[in-house]
Amino acid sequence: MASVANPAEITPRQVANKSDKRALLDAIRMTLAVQSPAVRHNTQTFNRNRYAATARLADYDALKDRAREIKQNAIANLPELLRQLEASVHANGGHFYLAKTAADADRYICDVLTRHEAKLVVKGKSITSEETKLNHALEAAGIEVAETDLAEFILQVADEQPSHIVAPALHYSRERITALFKRKFATELPLDTGEELTVFAREKLRQKFIAAAAGISGANLIGADSGSIMLVESEGNIRMTTILPPVHISIAGIEKVVPSRKDFGTFIELLPRSGTGQPLTSYVSILHPPLKAPPFAAPGKQPKPREFHLVLIDNGRNRMREDPVLREALRCIRCSACLNSCANFETVGGHAFGGETYSGGIGGSWEAGTGTLMNARFSELCTGCSRCVNNCPVRIDIPWLNENLRQRMNFEQPGSAGKSMFGAMTGSAVEDRVAPLQKQFFANYHTMARRATRVASVSNAITRLRFVRGLMESVVGLDRRRKLPPFPPKTWEELHRSEPTHTATPAEPSNVLMLADVFTNYGSPERGMASVRALRQVGFNVELSAALPDGRAAMSQGMVATAREQAKVLAATLLPHVESGEVVCVVEPSVLAMLRSDFAHLLDEATWTRFAKGKFLEPMQLVWSAGGDLAGIFPAARSPHGARVFYHSHCQQRTCNAANETIEVLRAAGFDVVTSSVECCGMAGSFGYKHEYYELSMAVGEDLFEQVRAAEKDGPRTLVASGTSCHEQLWAGMGREVLHPAELLMSTVAT
Amino acid sequence: MQPAIAQSPLLEEFAKSAIQAVATVELIERSPAALGDAILRAVGEASRILYAPPHELPSELFSEFVRDRRVRAEPTPEEMVASAAGVTEAFAGVASTGSVCIDISFERTGMVSLLAPLQIAVVAAETIVPQPRDLFRADVLDGRGLERDFVFVTGPSATADMGPLVRGVHGPHKLHIIVLR
């Protein structure tokens, strides 16, 4: 599809299907231009509320384990559970239908309604019915559909797809809703407040509830033992839909089935808290329909007998169940925590970071599972920052799913002699050499960097040339607007060799092996050296390993085979140290996260079992663990940078619980520390370098830059960050030097 | 709820959570006169009050209340959709969330607790459980939560879909909870 000049003229429907890359790029431009403020406000509110609400659950982690286990077992026993559920629904007096496809589900529902001569149905929010495009089918059958959830009502009026799986119209600000209603309803009514808009919609829909022949709802969970369903909502429209009309149809995916109604007890605590951050939403209905109480009857009429249909859809889910990667996604309970904790999603929402139905980090797997692989192209917006991982109530490793989708999409690309040669030269695994040049370039960062640092002054001179940047942009997609940090004249390994190795004469020095991770080694050796010195300062004996790639860069490009090869070599190198009980210290947090958790996916099981016993720590964790008099060793008052600092921890560092010690150390040394509260800086490795994502990356970064500016209202602060990418992003956004915590500490030590 | 009358930690937590969910709560003596008073005070000037008789609490408790001429225990459809208040019992309360659990298996309980702008729920103090998950246990409240069709009601209906948070959407705009000592 051709790119439209003005992003505001792009309609969400036009860019819903992103199998064409142009649609993804247009969608990013459109959402940044039109929807971003509302999406940011709403998702960040959900995000803050979720952190607060889950912190109040004393057994949050145990509940997540339990939820994961219930879903895992349910998916394993699905055929049996479906048989049991069918019997339960029949025993209750309801009807059960298992639809193979979306069209099959729609046809069944149309048949039921036609049999009842229904002219009007009311609908509660159901993303599954968006997947089957039920409204189109009903309207084609001459049945009016009234969407009664106010968000779905807005989407129906605007003819747009959902932009969020829980709050499908959160890309609309109040002002845009007012404009939309005034235009579509041609009304002169004042619609300038949330109350006025709500009253307007309520009055329209009240009449529909009373007149409707049938109500259609989704189901958040279904208990096989009793045919019970759980329905979570706040507006009361689902209660109306299930109580008033005589016919109730509930449509859901087969993955919503759990063994027992008793299992609802686990999910009722997790779902609302993980979603909107409420302890409970206004209404949670627990029903085993049909209801015994009679439905609403119009004046002068006898109430009709109740009828209930449970329509479960497969539509690719059984295929997902056979797929080792997509099977994980079946655990999803559609809470939206992975959307709200994602910096990219917070900035563009589901009309860019989403497909025709599903959105966000988990959305790619669902679009691929219920549609085709290329429908998941928007999952490119998952940077692998991992902020969603700890927030997922059923513990799905969402970045890993997206890295696998990316690999499959790479494999769909045609191979070429050029790509193959480039891959061979730079270090791609044989099967990954079909990947686009841009992906192979960023995946093999270390090879390029190794060569460039050998002739750093030449490399730096060359990359400053405008035509070279132009060439890099057109060949490997490295955006020319992105400031490149200069290659250092010496690598960390080289600097380390010329460093005297005496320690601060501790009684019993303990040994630490520092991994010369490739990002620090070739990109910022001074941070590595400062870390070595800081550790020595508090009494550790430090050795430096050889610089070896860890698989992070390759994995983020979907080059999983290359990542596996690198992980295997690195693990073999580190294992002797790990098994001798030595601590392995890693400066770059994204590499620390590889060793701590991602290697579980990349190493064979036996190696991982041995490797996982290792102690992998971030430098400041070690400094903190040494327990010395930090105020005496690193007196903040002596720092030429001043004692006032702004600290941004790295996304993966926070996910693997390795960030708090940095703040403790800096405060103990006497620094006045203000911390960021953004999920991610927006750089995320190569993401912010890529030509097509540069603007999005900077838009995400703006939240962080704004926090720096706010923290500096009463005077400047020294910028401190732990991750390589965060350094580069802060450097680009704030235009000044950024220090590693170890550099800040060492600045206090007299030399 | 006035702090003086919150007597147990569970009750205190219930009241705190319910208020956080923007419900109002009061604790009263368990007598027909006190309940009648409390409900009529809560409904104020309402010209019609929907009422679904209780199945757990003794119906004598409501004997003073039902003498009010405005009470409709068997409303017409027109009255059902155009009354200012709806009164039902709740068979359980939840302390951590301030929710009341309304059994909707009976004749009109579902509609009475849903269609009027002011919802009044009457709950016995001893049926308040610590957490939502307790309603899914066979050993709590004789496993009633495992058998019934019911709704956890937490505050009034609400939406943020129109921009700012608005209370009072399709369901009640206000929830008043009367706890029986």
A205 touches B at CB < 8 Å: yes
From chain B, the residues in CB contact with A235 under 8 A are: 157-159, 161, 169-171
Question: Shortest CB distance from B170 goes to which of A174, A197, A240?
Answer: A240
Question: Residue B66, Cβ neighbours under 10 Å: how many?
Answer: 16
The pairing of strands B49-51 and A718-721 is unpaired
pLDDT of residue A502: 55
Q: Report the chain B residue with the minimal C-alpha distance to residue A228.
A: B149
Contact B141, A273 (CB under 8 A): no
Q: Report the chain B residue with the minimal C-alpha distance to residue A175.
A: B163
SS3 content of chain B, % helix, strand, coil (to 5): 30, 25, 40
**Residue extents of the structural domains in chain B:** 3-180
**How far does B33 lie from chain A, in Å, by closest CA?**
30
Q: How far, CA to CA in Å, does A499 sit from each of A156, A456, A546, A740?
A: 67, 21, 16, 19
CB contact (8 A) between residue B132 and residue A265: yes
| Separation between Cα atoms, residue A153 and residue A208, nearest integer Å | 12
| Separation between Cα atoms, residue B180 and residue B29, nearest integer Å | 6
pLDDT of residue A402: 98
On the question of a cis peptide bond just before residue A245, with omega within 30 degrees of 0, the verdict is no
Q: Report the chain B residue with the minimal C-alpha distance to residue A166.
A: B161
Is A4 buried (19+), middle (13-18) or exposed (0-12) by CB count in 10 A? middle
CB contact (8 A) between residue B152 and residue A210: no
CB contact (8 A) between residue A285 and residue B77: no
Angle made by CA atoms B65, B71, B75, in degrees to the nearest 5: 145
Question: Shortest CB distance from B149 goes to which of A235, A283, A288?
Answer: A288
pLDDT of residue A303: 86
Among A724, A696, A694, which Cα is nearest to A478's? Answer: A694
Q: How far, CA to CA in Å, does A93 sit from each of A118, A307, B97, B158?
A: 21, 8, 33, 33
Look at residue B6 and tell me whether its pLDDT is greater than 80.
Answer: no
If you count DSSP H runs as helices and E runs as strands, how many of each does chain B have, helices first? 4, 12
CB contact (8 A) between residue B161 and residue A151: yes
Contact A402, A414 (CB under 8 A): no
- Give the relative orientation of helices A724-734 and A694-711 as an angle to the nearest 10 degrees: 80
Which of B161, B173, B175 is the mutation pick for testing A, counting most A CBs within 10 A? B161
Angle made by CA atoms A153, A154, A155, in degrees to the nearest 5: 90
CB contact (8 A) between residue A234 and residue B165: no
Question: How does A255-278 read in b/e, with b if 16+ C-beta sit within 10 Å?
Answer: bbbbbbbbbbbbbbbbbbbbbbbb
Is A294 buried (19+), middle (13-18) or exposed (0-12) by CB count in 10 A? middle
From chain B, the residues in CB contact with A286 under 8 A are: 135, 145, 148-152
Among A652, A656, A623, which Cα is nearest to A531's? Answer: A623
Contact A296, A80 (CB under 8 A): no
Look at residue B2 and tell me whether its pLDDT is greater than 50.
Answer: no
Higher per-residue pLDDT: B120 or A300 = B120
Phi, psi of A146 (to 5 degrees): -105, 110
| Separation between Cα atoms, residue A15 and residue A22, nearest integer Å | 9
Q: What residues of chain A score a pLDDT lower than 70? A: 1-4, 501-509, 751
| Separation between Cα atoms, residue A689 and residue A356, nearest integer Å | 28
Beta-sheet strand order (sheet of A307-313): A95-99, A307-313, A247-253, A214-217, A120-123, A144-147
Residues near A301 by beta carbon (within 8 Å), at least 6 away in sequence: none
pLDDT of residue A13: 95
Look at chain A and count its residues. 751
What are the structure tokens assigned to A161, written together? 């797809």
3-state DSSP call for residue A431? helix
| Separation between Cα atoms, residue B176 and residue A103, nearest integer Å | 45
From chain B, the residues in CB contact with A283 under 8 A are: 151-154, 157, 171
Question: Shortest CB distance from A174 goes to which of B110, B164, B168?
Answer: B164
Ranges of H-type helices in A312-412: 317-322, 326-329, 337-340, 343-348, 363-370, 398-411
Q: Report the chain A residue with the minimal C-alpha distance to residue B157.
A: A235
| Separation between Cα atoms, residue A261 and residue A229, nearest integer Å | 8
Q: What is the pLDDT of residues A175-193, one digit of tens each?
A: 999 999 999 999 989 999 9
**How far does B127 lie from chain A, in Å, by closest CA?**
17
**Residue extents of the structural domains in chain A:** 58-317, 492-746
DSSP A596: I
Ranges of H-type helices in A148-256: 150-158, 174-185, 194-211, 237-243
Among A715, A723, A735, which Cα is nearest to A681's? Answer: A723
Contact B104, B141 (CB under 8 A): no
| Separation between Cα atoms, residue A15 and residue A31, nearest integer Å | 11
> What is the rounded average pLDDT of the residues B118-143?
97
Enter the ipTM: 0.97
Average pLDDT, chain B: 95
Contact A181, A197 (CB under 8 A): yes
Q: What is the pLDDT of residues B9-40, one digit of tens each?
A: 999 999 999 999 999 999 999 999 999 999 99
pLDDT of residue A174: 96
3-state DSSP call for residue A141? coil
Q: Which CATH number fits domain B3-180: 3.40.190.10, 3.40.50.10420, 1.10.150.120, 3.20.20.70?
A: 3.40.50.10420
Q: Letter for the amino acid at A692?
A: E
Q: What is the pLDDT of residues A135-158, one digit of tens each?
A: 999 999 999 999 999 999 999 999
Which of B81, B102, B170 is the mutation pick for testing A, counting most A CBs within 10 A? B170
Neighbouring-strand partners of residue A143: none
pLDDT of residue A4: 58
| Domain A58-317 sits in CATH 3.40.50.10420 | yes
Neighbouring-strand partners of residue A310: A96, A250
Q: What is the pLDDT of residues B82-111, one digit of tens each?
A: 999 999 999 999 999 999 999 999 889 999
Question: Shortest CB distance from B170 goes to which of A167, A237, A284?
Answer: A237
CB contact (8 A) between residue A265 and residue B170: no
**How far does A143 lie from chain B, in Å, by closest CA?**
23
Contact A432, A443 (CB under 8 A): yes
